[in-house]
A and B are shown apart, each in its own frame.
Chain A
Amino acid sequence: MVDTRPFLPVSSHAGSDPTGPSENRRKPMKLQLSIFFVLLTVGFFAALLTSNNGSDNGFVKENEHGSLASPSSEKQLRPVSRGPAVGVSEKSNRLFAKDNENQLAYPWNNSMLSWQRTAFHFQPEKNWMNDPNGPLFYKGWYHFFYQYNPHAAVWGDIVWGHAVSKDLIHWLHLPLAMVADQWYDKNGVWTGSATILPDGKVVMLYTGSTTENVQVQNLAYPADHSDPLLINWVKYSGNPVLVPPPGILDKDFRDPTTAWLTSEGKWRITIGSKINKTGIALVYDTKDFIYYELLDGVLHAVPGTGMWECVDFFPVSKTEENGLDTSVNGPSVKHVVKASLDDDRHDYYSIGTYHEKNGTWIPDEPKIDVGIGLRYDYGIYYAAKTFYDQNKNRRVLWGWIGESDSEAADMQKGWASVQSIPRTILFDKKTGTHLLQWPVEEIESLRLKSYEFNQVKVQAGSVVPLDVGPATQLDIIAEFEIDKEALEKTTGSNVTFSCSSSGGTIERGALGPFGLLVLADDSLSEQTPVYFYIAKGSDGKLKTFFCNDQSRSSVASDVNKQIYGNLVPVLEGEKLSLRVLVDHSIVESFAQGGRTVITSRVYPTKAIYGAAKLFLFNNATEASVSASLRIWQMNSAFIRPYPNNKESQ
């Protein structure tokens, strides 16, 4: 089992003999030290490099991979030994071995670090950001608020940052919206959501961490409702409006949602929490956002999922291709419950039915209930929040994308985290179980020169360069067709596949992996594959996986090298389709129209600036693939302070 948490040096089994500690107690100091030494090396490698041995053996195999750079190479790669499931004993001693010249130990230089800054993803000018807060459209502007540390590039001293845009892409920074100036939010002005009232006014509910570190909910509203920029905010004089109810601990009560109307004309919100290890969503009704009644029971609960952060609850249409206001309900509507699980730092959603009378929700498929089923994104993506965009009648999703490098690099470069490109959310009518996410159409305004490639044939075991000029700011739309004969002739097997426990793209199957190599240098010493892997079961059924392989994304040793991804449903008659946004150190990729999405942070040392290239690749053993692509160079979004010196941060 792979520990999917980046950089966690130990999982329950990593790197250590489970009986080790008790035996060590009786051994003399010197022996203890050497045992610790071994545990250190093994434990550390288990953390950094995951169980697939991919990256380190990748170094060893580099020269062989390098030979793939010739377009018509048919060179067969030796399958890489995967090593023991928990790790890494084959190469653990390389951690301290000085003979591995491929292991990069020199610090990041400014050129590499400044390249990492994105061109068209939202990020503040400097310092740390996390959760999206209170997104809304108001008087002609899209508003975005966010958790922000004004002092450092690590989490802490959290306040609300603020920015506005006309199109969800070109953002202008505004002054901080709320700071920690009250006893009830002194230790943190945390996440919250906006509700637009029928008369057009806005109210904001947010979590404050009090001077005693109790999590409470507070009400705030614009100081001047006629100000389209909503610069100044007032906190309600009677805050907090909610404190942890009986049975809920002081530190398990946060992130209130946007409110929706009940049939009785009251407003209803939900707040995530937990009881022991069961994640829950509490429900409150209110008429005025000041006095609340806690409903009996909860909106929903799932045992074993732990604390539910950033709960989101919203309707989707089963039939229409547009978003729905949060208060909409009816027979052609399904409701989504989403939670960010504190325990594994992933965002999960589930589709089901809302029972308005008692404020409960039941999943359509309990097997893929909240926290145990589908994720918005199989990469680095958390604390997501949607809002109903009444301007364009769509539901838009924001998600926080953290860093997967070391904090030393973050502190050196002076910033950490970006937001995903906002995505529209739609119910996937074809599967009935998934949501579809897609970058908002306004991003197309950044498209510059385009390149088209039609039916490019990529033979098994080959790489094809795609000449698109600079390859660090791209919008790629691709379709793949796999050789039908190979699909039919390949023998199926019982072996189960998963992106994260696979060997990455050096693990060759009959029908995969194939896809794109982004942020790759000419020699492919650094490369980030975004790809499909088709597995055929012994019953002849095909399963398609969609993965991002970071194991060779950088020769630097202090970045995340995991392989992300999941199954992607591919229906009869569908071609394999892919959209990839490359923007310096972030890659967002969408398979099958957004049915499965993966976001990665990538930190190359060589595949940067003009040296970053794009390739097609096919590392399958039996099938050839043909790809058709349209690729655009992307302009910068020129995200900057609002043009008025008095008002910029």
Chain B
Amino acid sequence: MGNQNLIERTCKQTPFYDLCIWSLKSNPESRDASVKKLAQIMVDSLKTKATETLDLIDELLQDGLALDPEMQKALTSCAERYNVIIRGDVPEINEALKTGDYKFAAKGANDAAIEANSCEIEFPTKSPLTDMNKVVHDVSVVAASIVKIIQTKFSF
């Protein structure tokens, strides 16, 4: 209960308050967390969502011949982008948060949002990933906002 205030104050400074609150409160580690820990929880959430999305992409790709070539191409490209989020952005953010060179955490989080969006615009017609891309994008944006709080207020 005691950390409620910090979570709410932090999430108010992000553009997706509800998503921020939900992501943090659903993780028991947020209970006594510092702002830096809240950022780390958000990054874990990003990794989870990105992995789920990549799993979905892989499943869709397994439809193989049933897919039209444009859809196939878009999904393959999305898989690449999600690999970058999981194997590039997330480790970069985590190392930066751990060592305190926060601008690289911001860079990784911002890039994850770009990758999610770039995936979404791959689809010439209807995207099967809109909801998931949006979640990954928004979670990335929230993570970037929390990093900004750490950077520009007091060190944690």
Contact = CB atoms under 8 A, between A and B. Distances in A.
Interface of A: 5-10, 14-16, 21-22, 24-25, 32-33, 36-37, 39-40, 43-44, 47-48, 95-96, 98, 103, 105-107, 152-157, 187-188, 190, 209, 213, 215, 249-252, 274, 276-277, 306-307, 342-343, 345, 406-408, 410-412, 557-558
Contacts of B144: 8-10
Interface residues of B, dominant DSSP: helix
A343 B151 contact: yes
Interface stretch (B42-50, B52-60, B61-69, B93-101): B93-101
A286 to B, nearest CB: 25
B84 A7 contact: no
Nearest to A249: B155
What bracket does the count of chain B residues touching chain A fall in?
35 or more
Given A25-B18, A43-B15, A105-B121, A188 B99 contact: yes
Given A154-B89, A155-B96, A25 B113 contact: no
B121 A557 contact: yes
Nearest to A32: B18
Contacts of B80: 107, 408, 412
B151 A8 contact: no
28 contacts: A5-B106, A8-B144, A9-B110, A9-B137, A10-B141, A16-B15, A22-B17, A36-B134, A44-B117, A47-B114, A96-B130, A103-B121, A105-B122, A154-B91, A155-B108, A156-B92, A188-B99, A190-B101, A250-B155, A277-B152, A306-B152, A345-B103, A406-B114, A407-B111, A408-B118, A411-B84, A558-B114, A558-B118
Contacts of A407: 84, 88-89, 92, 108, 111, 115
Interface in B98-148: 98-104, 106-108, 110-111, 113-115, 117-118, 120-125, 127, 130-131, 134, 137-138, 140-141, 144-145
Given A9-B140, A557-B121, A21 B16 contact: yes
A48 to B, nearest CB: 8
Given A407-B88, A412-B80, 12 more contacts: A10-B144, A43-B15, A96-B120, A103-B121, A105-B118, A105-B124, A213-B100, A251-B100, A277-B152, A277-B153, A406-B81, A407-B115
A251 B106 contact: no
Contacts of B98: 187, 213
Contacts of A154: 88-89, 91-92, 108
A342 B18 CA distance: 29
A39 B20 CA distance: 15
A190 B134 CA distance: 36
A25 B88 CA distance: 33
B42 to A, nearest CB: 14
Nearest to A107: B77
Nearest to A188: B99
A411 B141 contact: no
Contacts of B140: 9
A8 B15 contact: no
Nearest to A15: B15
A411 B82 CA distance: 12
Given A8-B106, A343-B151, A156 B137 contact: no
Nearest to A156: B95
B12 A21 contact: yes
Contacts of B77: 106-107
A163 B14 CA distance: 43
Nearest to B73: A106
Contacts of B110: 5-9, 47
B145 A209 contact: no
A252 B152 CA distance: 12
A290 B124 CA distance: 63
Contacts of A24: 17-18
Q: Which 10 A-B pairs have the closest CB atoms?
A: A251-B100, A21-B17, A249-B155, A408-B84, A7-B110, A155-B104, A407-B111, A9-B113, A154-B92, A105-B121
Contacts of A6: 110
B134 to A, nearest CB: 5
A274 B18 CA distance: 33
A215 B102 CA distance: 13
B115 A406 contact: yes
A47 B113 CA distance: 10
B154 A276 contact: yes
Contacts of A15: 15
Nearest to A97: B121
A248 B155 CA distance: 10
